[in-house]
Structure 1
């Protein structure tokens, strides 16, 4: 394995994680086997992949060249004598000459055979009856020869032999689907999901010196590479493939009265780009091997040379060092054979491999509808009727069996559907119409068990049935439209509506489903949906179809930004390779620890636990709490906030409830709000508008964004915005997971997957001892269910942090995230352990919940993240213009607020002084930093800049143990520049200062700490404007009643004791009673108002506390 300096192709000085990644990958390629590499997006994963793999390939080629036998050409730098190299060259030239002579003799023999058979008189292959039909046909069937099935079984008929001979003699340039045999060399197959991603890979290659020393060939479909306008306009890949193959076929020979074929011109119709001269085709191939071209470049070069780039890539494939292809071309054996890929001893790199399992599963699953089966049955019956007299006996027999199979499959859906028509359309009835069967049980129950499906599939492949029958179908429709009357009198006119508008689509779905019936019975199930009228083959074991790739390759590397959870990937693709035996590598991010926050939120702002299970998440109180949480986050987080919900239905429910409660208007007042649309066409527009609002790159629309700061985007887990979208920088300063996106446990396919995994083994697949012990109570199916959820979560939270200078927060809103958090605040649950390993070091510590709020709102910030509190000191600030330089280091956000773009030079000078001081402070140069902070105060600072300068100078004084200057700076920032006292109380840098006598004495003089009660009292009275007047009135009346009660009680005592001059006893007693009742009533009313006043005051103080603690969101969220 090379040392760090042995990756000279890397265009920059690599980060440590990049160096480790390349070395680990190089070691994996040296040893061979399976490698799982997880590198976060933004760490240069693709470039690291290329530099390591291509360095290994170049080293391997050099090592192989050093071991070349004497009989082969020797490399130029070998030390052998000239006569030995000359002799080796002569041997090779002689061998090439012998091969050329043999080819010439073979061609001459073939031409003589063609000439002999061409002059031979042969009886017509048509029956007399068929000949009558043709002679009476107005339009004629000159192209019927092209639609005849090839003879299956290994031996072609004389007709096929002659047609093939004519093809080779009349059109030597016609391309074949097969490609030349691959030479013995090491090849790298670099796969990604789409052509656009592969184009980005090619661009990365262009930045390395390997573009000069290695050859690269991109493989693409006809849709991407075909330059024939007539074929391109067909649209779908299936129709383009069909038309391309038709253009390669020789034009059918017309027969004269003797039965011999008439000679046709060599200029018969065909693809002009495929018939391009060999010189032009060779030139295109050489340019492809010498330059680094992506698919779009290759199509343009094909247009320039007027030569087919699709087949040029096939012919250049054996000579390429690196082949780039979408991994849909890798997932099935048929696609690999069609392209000409030989994986024996090769290296396969799969980038963006998190979708590989789904790609394998979808490629080998198959679904067919009742309408497609009926259309296929009609097409096959019409074809059999038309060609019955001209098909070979074996083809006729197999075609009849195929029609029977299609008929029986249609009956599976047809008969029960008719029986269900009389039933009411209820939920119970609908659920009863969907069932799953084992493959063998399905075949036996529906009368297909006595049919050799393997022979049917082989017959369809060897006879090219798919293209011939569908081609004949469309040809007959075209012919019927041109001359319907003669055609309809002899042959049934087939006019069957097709879901895709092509005869190929229905037949293709039918053929694919029949092919799936040949799979191992244990690897899949048949899903019968009578309500939808579909049959679906559900692949449960993708490893069975991926095993050939694993076995043939020298090394297989799966790489992605998020492969976690790895046990799920291992169990689905490599069940016979324990995870401990695989080469796994997970690196951290290049982003500093202060730029990312991972924080579970078990409760909302009011302390209500976030129970977001399906049964409770729709409660009004729970939806209100989610709305309040988003409001707090939007208040604290600048620019873009992206929130993911489990489904479109739940987002619609939240939207409707928040609109009714007014929360939606309050959210919209803080940020421009967007909801992910359901249609693909509207997603691009929504994303564009969100980007403009989040980054403020466009003028406010007519509706106005006044008072709004940034944007909020509500997305759906598993939707179009949850994967492959870059929410870097200001597009995603926070990503919020609203709940856990567990799939529907009642889904019949999911239940079957879980049942299948439970049946494989009594114990779950192991990954590591820690995970096994934590999840020992779960079955394999339960683990799969949980891992599906975590896979979706990991994709969503991976949308943020796209490069080293980015920063963001990941907030996990659900009580289930904290259910297994230990007493030290560390996550020990299986959910947290299945998050990407590079994110776990950024998991924030939090302990037991206090009486009010949740950890996000009440815990003081740790490390540099607490410093963002000063950035959010003013709740009325807007954050659209946060300078990027404030975000280069978390320390830079200490005390710095947003400045208007039109700031004066003096303010810029103060701001730059604060920035310089912060850099020095972060480096530990407190005295130097202090000078810059003091300089900022003398440069005419704004209030925000003065607050930042004073507070940071206090921190610098505290570091130097200068307590009195530190206290004075804090006091001035609080009293003169509205710094929140809670910021200083929470700051760890001022911890020692807060224990000094100077600080305790200064607390009484800080207005920020004394004014809260009076302000809270005023706000409490504002809620009940007449209550204070009532209280004062009641107090006066109560005082009068109390005085009257004392006087009347004295007089009553005198009357009862018979003292001289005593008043009348009855009247005195009546007065006493009135005063007593009045005093009690007034005391009750006064107590009621005082209690209400106290309650309102506590409420206001609580809200005021939350308003201040809300700053802690920014403290934890923003760097």
Structure 2
């Protein structure tokens, strides 16, 4: 293994963490296998990756070229590694097999060409379609031959070879995509998520000497590399692929009157860039191999040479040392084969790998809607009708079966929900309109079990059905728009089916073909989600490892790297279940930032001491939202420049925003910092981020509304939103990042529940994977671990937005009481949540020492030392901080390990009002005994009625917090009887909740003269169970009275009409009014009786509970209250 000086390509002296990273990666590549490398953003991860990987590649190439032992790279008794010799042997065998197969196909083609392509198309009488072609009518079908399905089962290859004999090699896609020659050296495939990230990688390569000694080829889709304007304007990748392949085919040959093909003078013009001279194509290829070009540079060079850069990369691929590609090209076998990637013995580096599992899952999942199925069915039926006389018998048969499959799938979504629900498998999870079914059960249930799906998929691939049928559909639409008259006599609903935008053309067939292909997956690896409300069928992949296994098996080394891969067990379980984590090469790099510049701090409570219970059921309580607002207000006062807060969802942010606006907290936040909320639309995100950056860094002039008095900015973001990943909140853009709660996914989500059930099923089968067993960590099942790890993965992405380089500084604040359950008595992480944070952050966890019961040691600090302590923590000029209001000063320290002793002096003789206010501050701080002294002092200072009422009531609350039930009860009784405190206040106060359940309280209720007897109190408690019932009763009573009056009046008028009295109203109209009043009165009477009965029942229940609470129980000689 090389020492530090053996990485000479590193452009400057590496930090210790960078040196360790490169040495560990070099060792992993030398040994082979799987490596998981975690390096925080700002530590030069990409450059360290490149220098280590390319140094190893260069050493391996040099050793192989010299044909001598590689020292540290291989054992001394071997000339070259076994995997290299095996790779070379396999390439030789593959090339020989390809040459033999091609010769056989050529021989067969020469013998069968006449019979297969000549005589079969010589009918004795012309069909209507042929007549249109021969007549040369502009609205005929001269190009139908281009849309005719290739014959499956080997005939496709023969047709392709025959076409190749008629056209130049540049016209043929088969020639362009032939098997590449065997590699002479090891290849490295460097993958990242997007082309822009790969462009950054290429820029880093340009800083190293490897740009001269190694060759680099970027791979991209036609969307990124195509330079044909006519193809580019099609927009979607699928349409561009289809058009590109069409341009490479020879023009369809017309037939003469005998049915024989006419020999044309030249083939289709095709793509001018693909038909470029071999000299220009070779020049473009050589420039690509000699220089470091990204896809944008390559497209520009293609324009310059007027040669196709897409196929230039394909030709250069076998000769490249390093291939750069988005990892969407790596996730499926079909995409690897389409590009020509051979992973045997290669090294695969996946940067930004935290999204790799999602990419594999989305690539192999499939969803199709009812409209898309119906559109596909119509297109297939129209195609079959149009080409029935020209299709081979086997193609006709398979096409009919495919139409049947699509029809049966559409019928699934047309079934009533009740019928669908009654047929669910016993292991399936379901709701009223959404259900999950096992794959085999789905096939049996809907009559698809007797159809060979594998044969259907093979037929669609070999016949190129996707592009042929959709191309014919688009061609028919174009002809209908150009020549509507001839089509009016045909059946347009068959030839040109009406299809909406969602299911139009190629997209509908793509979705249908993808879903049918998913039905061939292993039954244990996925489920079928049937959503009758949305009208969709979805194949949900539960085991991405099954589709990623080929990559793992073929490569010499597979390295996943990212700034945040944690939690690693989740990644291992999803991609490498048969490789225990202990057998993987893992490396977690520390950060280059000094310890004094980062603070990781859990916040279990808010500024008033209220515990931050941010579970879904409690986070929307008004008191909890107020506490979060006060928390952010304090953070904004303590932290300069930018503060970024992440909430679990857009809905919760909207709820907080609305509540804070109503309470005035939003105005207070806006007065301190310019406030922003992440928009839902992608177009508005960039504008929001730009405005936030300007406000946080104060680089822009204040808007017309003014920023007077504001310092920095506050940005509310959504976990999993566009601002939670890939955005740089370094330096002043993110001096603090605040997690408001824990973003656990919805536990009722049907896909999540099925995934958890699947993982629990694996853990019940020990032979499947030893890593899937129930974790020793708090005895969680595999499904529960997965649920928790999904949450922590989202948290890690959010908090990784800050600390982007060595000189950066920030605080990471975790606002939720559940974080405190992960801290032991010494302030260190002890359980699952904190241990799943990035390992490089854990050393920065604040060491509080023993915390006070309600201590929150960051947000508030002693005003006298606030500026000095802020400077110690953040290494920032002290003048950037503002003093915190005195009412918030308690138990706070901004530096780790700083303990603040706020000694409470004895209450001095003061006015009753000031004593009550001081007591309230102490009460909010959790100092209940000290607060009692001030409340008692207030009662001795000659208080007014209002002051005495406040002192007594708050002393009752303090006694209740200390579990002193009798003094608390006496204080409430005195406040009610002597100072007109309303008893309802005490009944509804959360601070007295435990007091109201005690015997002392129940006994004292009858002695309180607050205008309520114990029966009245029971009535209030009963009404609290149904808060809107009393309003309904009053409403129903009023409406019933009105209906009764109307009934009496209409009865009198009806009697007059029936007896024929003079001036009597119309009988029919009067009878109708009488009926309406009668029905209304009966309905209102029923509703009123229902609510009165419920009210009486609840009141009796409350009275019985209170009576039982007063009973005494005798156990031996003891009497228990």
TM class by smaller structure: 0.7 to 0.9
Using the TM superposition, give the Cα deviation of residue 131 of structure 1 relative to its aligned residue in structure 2, in angstroms. 3.9
**CA offsets per residue over residues 595-638 of structure 1, 9 Å max, x none?**
10000000011111000000000011111110111011000111
Distance 1:676 1:503 in 2: 36
Residues 25 and 369 of structure 1: CA distance in aligned 2, closer, same or farther (over 3 Å): same
Using the TM superposition, give the Cα deviation of residue 275 of structure 1 relative to its aligned residue in structure 2, in angstroms. 0.7
Distance 1:152 1:242 in 2: 19
Does the aligned pair in 2 maintain the 1:173–1:275 contact within 8 Å?
no
Distance 1:1038 1:258 in 2: 91
Using the TM superposition, give the Cα deviation of residue 487 of structure 1 relative to its aligned residue in structure 2, in angstroms. 3.0
Distance 1:958 1:1084 in 2: 44
For normalisation by structure 2, the TM-score amounts to 0.73
**CA offsets per residue over residues 649-690 of structure 1, 9 Å max, x none?**
000000000000000000000000000000000000000000
Distance 2:703 2:805 in 1: 31
Residue 98 of structure 2 corresponds to 98
Using the TM superposition, give the Cα deviation of residue 972 of structure 1 relative to its aligned residue in structure 2, in angstroms. 51
Deviates more, 1:617-626 or 1:426-435: 426-435
Using the TM superposition, give the Cα deviation of residue 305 of structure 1 relative to its aligned residue in structure 2, in angstroms. 0.2
Residues 950 and 1114 of structure 1: CA distance in aligned 2, closer, same or farther (over 3 Å): farther
Does the aligned pair in 1 maintain the 2:1023–2:1095 contact within 8 Å?
yes
Distance 2:193 2:372 in 1: 29
Residues 62 and 894 of structure 1: CA distance in aligned 2, closer, same or farther (over 3 Å): same
Is 1:250 aligned to 2:250, yes or no?
Answer: yes
Distance 1:159 1:1046 in 2: 91
Residues 489 and 672 of structure 1: CA distance in aligned 2, closer, same or farther (over 3 Å): same
Does the aligned pair in 2 maintain the 1:766–1:772 contact within 8 Å?
no
Does the aligned pair in 2 maintain the 1:74–1:85 contact within 8 Å?
no
Over alpha carbons, which structure has the higher Rg? 1
Using the TM superposition, give the Cα deviation of residue 854 of structure 1 relative to its aligned residue in structure 2, in angstroms. 1.6
Distance 1:1113 1:303 in 2: 96
Using the TM superposition, give the Cα deviation of residue 500 of structure 1 relative to its aligned residue in structure 2, in angstroms. 4.7
Picking from 520, 534, 537, the partner of 2:536 is: 534
Does the aligned pair in 2 maintain the 1:639–1:879 contact within 8 Å?
no
Residues 214 and 609 of structure 1: CA distance in aligned 2, closer, same or farther (over 3 Å): same
Deviates more, 1:1006-1015 or 1:564-573: 1006-1015
Residues 943 and 553 of structure 1: CA distance in aligned 2, closer, same or farther (over 3 Å): farther
Distance 2:613 2:115 in 1: 84
SS in 2 for 1:906: coil
Does the aligned pair in 2 maintain the 1:891–1:918 contact within 8 Å?
no
* Structure 1 portions without partners, runs of 5+: none
**CA offsets per residue over residues 884-910 of structure 1, 9 Å max, x none?**
999999999999999999999999999
Residue 954 of structure 2 corresponds to 952
Deviates more, 1:231-240 or 1:177-186: 177-186
Using the TM superposition, give the Cα deviation of residue 176 of structure 1 relative to its aligned residue in structure 2, in angstroms. 2.8
Distance 2:805 2:1112 in 1: 28
Does the aligned pair in 1 maintain the 2:935–2:952 contact within 8 Å?
yes
Does the aligned pair in 1 maintain the 2:607–2:888 contact within 8 Å?
no
Residues 494 and 703 of structure 1: CA distance in aligned 2, closer, same or farther (over 3 Å): farther
Does the aligned pair in 1 maintain the 2:860–2:890 contact within 8 Å?
no
Does the aligned pair in 1 maintain the 2:922–2:928 contact within 8 Å?
yes
Using the TM superposition, give the Cα deviation of residue 489 of structure 1 relative to its aligned residue in structure 2, in angstroms. 2.8
Residues 251 and 543 of structure 1: CA distance in aligned 2, closer, same or farther (over 3 Å): same
* Alignment RMSD: 18.7
**CA offsets per residue over residues 1056-1081 of structure 1, 9 Å max, x none?**
99999999999999999999999999
Residues 904 and 1053 of structure 1: CA distance in aligned 2, closer, same or farther (over 3 Å): same
Does the aligned pair in 2 maintain the 1:195–1:326 contact within 8 Å?
yes
Distance 2:589 2:902 in 1: 39
Deviates more, 1:47-56 or 1:1097-1106: 1097-1106
Distance 1:1117 1:666 in 2: 56
Using the TM superposition, give the Cα deviation of residue 811 of structure 1 relative to its aligned residue in structure 2, in angstroms. 0.2
Does the aligned pair in 2 maintain the 1:846–1:859 contact within 8 Å?
no
Using the TM superposition, give the Cα deviation of residue 267 of structure 1 relative to its aligned residue in structure 2, in angstroms. 6.1
Does the aligned pair in 2 maintain the 1:189–1:323 contact within 8 Å?
yes
SS in 2 for 1:124: coil
Using the TM superposition, give the Cα deviation of residue 928 of structure 1 relative to its aligned residue in structure 2, in angstroms. 47
Using the TM superposition, give the Cα deviation of residue 416 of structure 1 relative to its aligned residue in structure 2, in angstroms. 2.2
Residues 840 and 110 of structure 1: CA distance in aligned 2, closer, same or farther (over 3 Å): same
Using the TM superposition, give the Cα deviation of residue 986 of structure 1 relative to its aligned residue in structure 2, in angstroms. 41
Residue 120 of structure 2 corresponds to 120
Using the TM superposition, give the Cα deviation of residue 777 of structure 1 relative to its aligned residue in structure 2, in angstroms. 1.3
Distance 2:176 2:1076 in 1: 115
**CA offsets per residue over residues 734-770 of structure 1, 9 Å max, x none?**
0000000000000000000000000001399999999
Residues 220 and 1089 of structure 1: CA distance in aligned 2, closer, same or farther (over 3 Å): closer
Residue 163 of structure 1 corresponds to 163
Using the TM superposition, give the Cα deviation of residue 245 of structure 1 relative to its aligned residue in structure 2, in angstroms. 1.0
Residues 82 and 39 of structure 1: CA distance in aligned 2, closer, same or farther (over 3 Å): closer
Residues 1079 and 186 of structure 1: CA distance in aligned 2, closer, same or farther (over 3 Å): closer
Does the aligned pair in 2 maintain the 1:817–1:829 contact within 8 Å?
no
Using the TM superposition, give the Cα deviation of residue 820 of structure 1 relative to its aligned residue in structure 2, in angstroms. 3.2
Deviates more, 1:908-917 or 1:283-292: 908-917
Residues 615 and 933 of structure 1: CA distance in aligned 2, closer, same or farther (over 3 Å): closer
Deviates more, 1:392-401 or 1:946-955: 946-955
Does the aligned pair in 2 maintain the 1:624–1:658 contact within 8 Å?
yes
Using the TM superposition, give the Cα deviation of residue 162 of structure 1 relative to its aligned residue in structure 2, in angstroms. 3.9
Distance 1:291 1:783 in 2: 47
Using the TM superposition, give the Cα deviation of residue 168 of structure 1 relative to its aligned residue in structure 2, in angstroms. 3.7
**CA offsets per residue over residues 904-961 of structure 1, 9 Å max, x none?**
9999999999999999999999999999999999999999999999999999999999
Distance 1:752 1:613 in 2: 23
Residues 1095 and 195 of structure 1: CA distance in aligned 2, closer, same or farther (over 3 Å): farther
Residues 64 and 908 of structure 1: CA distance in aligned 2, closer, same or farther (over 3 Å): farther
The aligned length equals 1119
SS in 2 for 1:55: helix
Residues 1117 and 316 of structure 1: CA distance in aligned 2, closer, same or farther (over 3 Å): farther
Residues 181 and 630 of structure 1: CA distance in aligned 2, closer, same or farther (over 3 Å): same
Deviates more, 1:119-128 or 1:549-558: 119-128
Deviates more, 1:938-947 or 1:210-219: 938-947
Does the aligned pair in 2 maintain the 1:541–1:572 contact within 8 Å?
yes
Deviates more, 1:249-258 or 1:144-153: 249-258
Deviates more, 1:782-791 or 1:839-848: 839-848
